[in-house]
Amino acid sequence: MKRLFLIATLLLPLQVIAQPWITREDTYWFASTGVDLRNATFGGTVNDAAYDGTFSIGYRNVGFSIIAYYETFSAIEYESMGINPGFVVRPGKKLVPAGDISLSFIRRPWKTYPSLAFNARMEYHFDRFFVYLRAENRWRTDYDFYQFSVYGGFSIKFGFN
């Protein structure tokens, strides 16, 4: 896990250095909030419908993205936090697909566990904000199984123009 984190943080920024078409619209900071849509509406495999929310801050520079996030799900005493280095497929467009890997920790009342997730995002961009859907496949090391979740959210861009 440490080796994977080191490779991701050292090699992914090199992708940005080699791209000469960087514009101000493609480089910005953003703050986001979102919810797990299934848990909010129907409930999950071990819980009734309840709030499972995420808060994050990120930086995007053309094809490179980095996100630090915190997730709280008090109904099952679950917290997750981590960093997500990733890539953006169509920077500067209205409809933007992106992907990342989540290097994170799951905190439960009895123990803290390392965790790994793969995320695919679809974002629709407006001038100063965007909305997103994010599919996540997380290795739930607290229970030793993979779980698929879908999040929806809202992000505000800042730090450009």
Flag the least confident range among 3-17, 48-62, 84-98: 3-17
Are 38 and 21 spatial neighbours (Cβ–Cβ below 8 Å)?
no
The count of domains in the chain is 1
Task: Note the pLDDT of residue 10.
Answer: 46
DSSP string, 45-58: SSS-S---EEEEEE
Q: 143 has which bridge partners? A: none
The answer on pLDDT for 148 being more than 60 is yes
3-class DSSP state for residue 75? helix
Domain that holds residue 99: 2-158
pTM (predicted TM-score): 0.81
Cβ-based burial of 39 (10 A; exposed 0-12, middle 13-18, buried ≥19): buried
Task: Note the pLDDT of residue 129.
Answer: 96
Q: Which two tokens stand for residue 130?
A: 């965007």
Are 62 and 88 spatial neighbours (Cβ–Cβ below 8 Å)?
yes
| Rounded distance between C-alpha atoms, residue 60 and residue 132, angstroms | 15
Kindly report the CATH number assigned to the domain that includes residue 148. 2.40.160.20
Give percent above pLDDT 70 in the chain.
83
- Of 41, 38, 37, 40, the C-alpha closest to 51 is 40
